[in-house]
Structure 1
Amino acid sequence: MEFGQVPKQIFTHPHPRRMTGPPPALSSLDVCWRGIENLAVSAELPCHKSAVTSLCLSPDGRLVASVSYDCTLKIHNTVSATRERSVSLSSLPLTAVMMLHEGATVLAASMDSTLIVYDVECGRIVESVRGHEDAVSCLAWIAPSLLLTGSWDCCVRVWRLRKPLTCSRTGSSRSSIRAIKPASDLIAQLDHDARITALATNRLYTLLATGTTEGDVFLWSLKSFSIVKNLPGHKESVNGIDFSPDGTRLVTCSDDRTLKVFDLCTGTVVFSKCLVQKLKCLVWDGKTLLVGGAQGNIYLWDLVNVNLVKEFQAHTGAVLCICASDDGGVVITGGEDKKVKIWR
């Protein structure tokens, strides 16, 4: 169904009456990320030599980690826009990154099928272990010890780590150089028929959503590790996926140029919009959605009133990754143009 043809409300707020006058001012948007419609670039970091593939903010929003096809991890201070770490982690492109332990530890994924643990304080690689049979494409972390990894080998693996992902230092309580043991830590494997391109968990950590290169969208139980629903997905690769904060809805975007919102109680699509370019990434707070496109545009959607608030050029070439602080005060984008941009 297309914009303007939504048969029922997507969210708990009533669907607005048809307006005959001008649209409401942007400041009237009922969103958690207040002021996000006024985003502007505060810093531009030409930090990589190739396309930026993944980004992650530390919980306090002070640090941002980025990885790239140039095989490097970069860590920048978002306040001063200065580089704090730069390290080559692999001989093949890096595809995903997460910051753990308040930003003290970074977990990166590589196209050589490895998972790489980097300790920021120690400034060194703690571990590199083969986690899949093909490129690792996406990651998710459930504190304190559950790791989920998606791969081009068409499966998601669930790991329960028995030791902390930190480095070993004499006289310190931080220990355990060996953190991931495939033989003992792998507790489940969720098989698919196509390469995994995106995954996300709900906030209660009871559900996992996965997307594939074939456009499939699956909902899994993280208790039984079984499929709950096979959702009506996309015609091409799913590039972004996320749950609403209350866990009742799921949003996806795809190379087929569509973004979709699913009602997870019924498994139906309650909103679908086809845009003019392939959609590569997304981030949302359950009400306001930021979507990055293949032509460098970012779309800002108000999904309460179901309207496009703003569209602006962010990068030269595709916007490949995007993340935001919890309050929406800081948004980070990474692009095909090799740049990381900080927006406030």
Structure 2
Amino acid sequence: MSSPDELARDTPPPYKRRRTGDTPSSGSSSPDVLAGNPDDFLPPRRLSQRRAGLSKSPTKTPKYLDDFSRSQSLSRPLSESVRRSRSASSSESRTRSQTPVRSSPSPTRSPRSRPRSQSPTSSNQSRSDSFSPEPQQPTPTPPREPLKPNYKARLALHGHAKAVSQVRISPNGRFIASASADATVKIWDAATGAHMDTLVGHMAGVSCVAWTPDSNTLASGSDDKAIRLWDRVTGRPKTTARKSAGQEMAPLRGHHNYIHCLAFSPKGNILASGSYDEAVFLWDVRAGRLMRSLPAHSDPVAGIDFCCDGTLVVSCSTDGLIRVWDTSTGQCLRTLVHEDNPAVSNVCFSPNGRFVLAFNLDNCIRLWDYVSGSVKKTYQGHRNEKFSIGGCFAILNGEAFVASASEDGDVILWDVKNKEVLQRVQGHKGVCFWVDVHGETMVTAGQDGSIRVYRHIGLSEEVNGNGVRSHSKTPNQGMLQGELPIRQEDARLEEALS
């Protein structure tokens, strides 16, 4: 018979409403209704691919299971006397199991059984003869309380002569771009609030701005019906990439009315624009030419956005319609309309690309599941009846919430899941037109011509002797919104919206 050591080694381990005649009916066969399985046009999920890759890794055996299998292998070679003792009467076995470990060994035990007392499970020796011990289950950790935003005013930026219509933080979180009715675009330092540059070139008020993903190019749309592309570093119009290299790119012209909204694709090669001429244009940024014109709505286009992988474009209008388009073909895949048909002043995709957030002129913000065509959540608490105001999804240390401007000058933040108002921040004197959030930084634009910057104040923040606030270092501190792991971001939204 093999020794216990040998066996142990062998054990493995607001606009004028006109008409809404193109509102589709439920029984129509218009191209607005997606044919086939609705899941077929969902953007690809990198989350599922990463999870599939993780499933291929070998499973590591928990330590307590490895110790248990080792102790079982050491207890296999039992002497004949021990086997005979197990066949004794139940009263004798109970008496033996209750005998203290310090007592002298039973005379029926053979010397071969004594090494078992030196095994790693010697404290459970008396019990291992009568039954197999169960592995200890880990104590479940209590659910983590969601982080609540706590934004405080830090900077007030002044320089525009008229109302600021829109403000955007660059994807790298370092710059702030503001568009104003004074026909200028200004660039600010997001950390210090210092004025960096003023972009002059439009002949009328500027309504919207948009950053490329690399934060080096800025697009601006104006009431002069032109779109200009700016080089952030030089403060001059962007130069052409083909033919006459080094020459400044001419403004993008083609719309027949005011430019109202702009959005860059995730790769930065396509620019989408919406105008009062009721059309959506898709532009080739590198070539500076029009790619496709979409006769989108019957009223001015108020908002536009790309999904996370750039395959879909969503547009909205004061005609009450929200439309989802295929970027490559220009086909309308879905038309969303609420039963009350309120005007829609702004729209954006959720970070995971599965939902659409719509700002309506009935004091409501609605979260749409555009595949099923149903409203998942409705957020209330702000005021929006006359103006085209804007907001966004925001991610703060992995927690998602909804931020919106309000016509009373405040900024409202909602919990995505339970629709609870998490924070109401006092902002501007007059209408707050826009709010943008990038991690711990929030910036707003208002009718009073000012730009206000807010910082999130965490619970771990302290005030040192000089009166300067400082954070205790945490793993998530300083993480930019664009740098959050896609897996974590998607998981938070899936949990909140389920």
Q: TM-score, normalised by structure 1?
A: 0.79
Q: Does 1:254 align with 2:360?
A: yes
More relative contact order in 1 or in 2 (CA 8 Å, sep 6+)?
1
- CA offset at residue 238 of structure 1? 1.9
Q: Does 1:187 align with 2:292?
A: yes
Q: Does 1:284 align with 2:393?
A: yes
Distance 1:158 1:101 in 2: 17
Unaligned runs of 5+ in 2: 1-143, 238-247, 456-498
1:108 alignment partner, SS class: strand
- CA offset at residue 147 of structure 1? 1.3
Q: Does 1:140 align with 2:263?
A: yes
- CA offset at residue 276 of structure 1? 5.4
Please list, as runs of the form range in 1=range in 2, the aligned pairs for 1:180-219 lying within 5 A after superposition. Answer: 180-181=288-289, 185-219=290-324
Distance 1:139 1:146 in 2: 11
Distance 1:259 1:150 in 2: 20
Distance 1:83 1:225 in 2: 40
Q: Does 1:241 align with 2:352?
A: no
The residue identity in structure 2 corresponding to 1:309 is L
1:235-265 per-position Cα deviation (integer Å, ceiling 9, x unaligned)? 4432221112222211111222111111122
User: Relative to structure 1, is the Cα distance of residues 274 and 144 closer, same or farther in structure 2, using a 3 angstrom cutoff?
Assistant: closer
Please list, as runs of the form range in 1=range in 2, the aligned pairs for 1:1-344 lying within 5 A after superposition. Answer: 28-29=145-146, 34=147, 37-100=149-212, 102-125=214-237, 126=248, 127-142=250-265, 143-163=267-287, 180-181=288-289, 185-233=290-338, 235-275=341-381, 277-278=383-384, 280-285=389-394, 287-325=400-438, 328-344=439-455
User: Relative to structure 1, is the Cα distance of residues 276 and 331 closer, same or farther in structure 2, using a 3 angstrom cutoff?
Assistant: closer
The residue identity in structure 2 corresponding to 1:65 is A
User: Relative to structure 1, is the Cα distance of residues 311 and 123 closer, same or farther in structure 2, using a 3 angstrom cutoff?
Assistant: closer
Count of residue correspondences: 292
Contact 2:404 2:411 in 1 (8 A): yes
Q: Which moved more, 1:274-283 or 1:298-307?
A: 274-283
1:77-103 per-position Cα deviation (integer Å, ceiling 9, x unaligned)? 011211000133312110111122633
User: Relative to structure 1, is the Cα distance of residues 307 and 213 closer, same or farther in structure 2, using a 3 angstrom cutoff?
Assistant: same
- CA offset at residue 333 of structure 1? 0.7
Number of the residue aligned with 1:11: none
- CA offset at residue 156 of structure 1? 0.2
Distance 1:307 1:216 in 2: 27
Higher strand share: 1
Distance 1:128 1:307 in 2: 44
Indicate the percent of aligned positions where both proteins have the same amino acid.
22
1:55-75 per-position Cα deviation (integer Å, ceiling 9, x unaligned)? 222222111110101111110
Contact 2:394 2:403 in 1 (8 A): no
Contact 1:235 1:256 in 2 (8 A): no
2:214 alignment partner, SS class: helix
User: Relative to structure 1, is the Cα distance of residues 101 and 305 closer, same or farther in structure 2, using a 3 angstrom cutoff?
Assistant: closer
1:314-341 per-position Cα deviation (integer Å, ceiling 9, x unaligned)? 111111112122xx21111111111111
Contact 1:220 1:227 in 2 (8 A): yes
1:28 alignment partner, SS class: coil
- CA offset at residue 159 of structure 1? 1.7
Contact 2:379 2:414 in 1 (8 A): no
Distance 1:232 1:307 in 2: 25
The residue identity in structure 1 corresponding to 2:424 is E
User: Relative to structure 1, is the Cα distance of residues 237 and 123 closer, same or farther in structure 2, using a 3 angstrom cutoff?
Assistant: same
- CA offset at residue 274 of structure 1? 4.4
Number of the residue aligned with 1:174: none
Q: Which moved more, 1:289-298 or 1:267-276?
A: 267-276
Q: TM-score, normalised by structure 2?
A: 0.56
User: Relative to structure 1, is the Cα distance of residues 206 and 154 closer, same or farther in structure 2, using a 3 angstrom cutoff?
Assistant: same
Q: Which has the larger radius of gyration?
A: 2
Distance 2:448 2:312 in 1: 35
Number of the residue aligned with 1:8: none
Q: Which moved more, 1:294-303 or 1:154-163?
A: 154-163
Number of the residue aligned with 1:7: none
- CA offset at residue 285 of structure 1? 3.4
The residue identity in structure 2 corresponding to 1:136 is I
Question: Aligned Cα RMSD in Å?
Answer: 2.0
Contact 1:115 1:131 in 2 (8 A): no
Higher helix share: 2
Distance 1:88 1:161 in 2: 20
Contact 1:190 1:225 in 2 (8 A): no
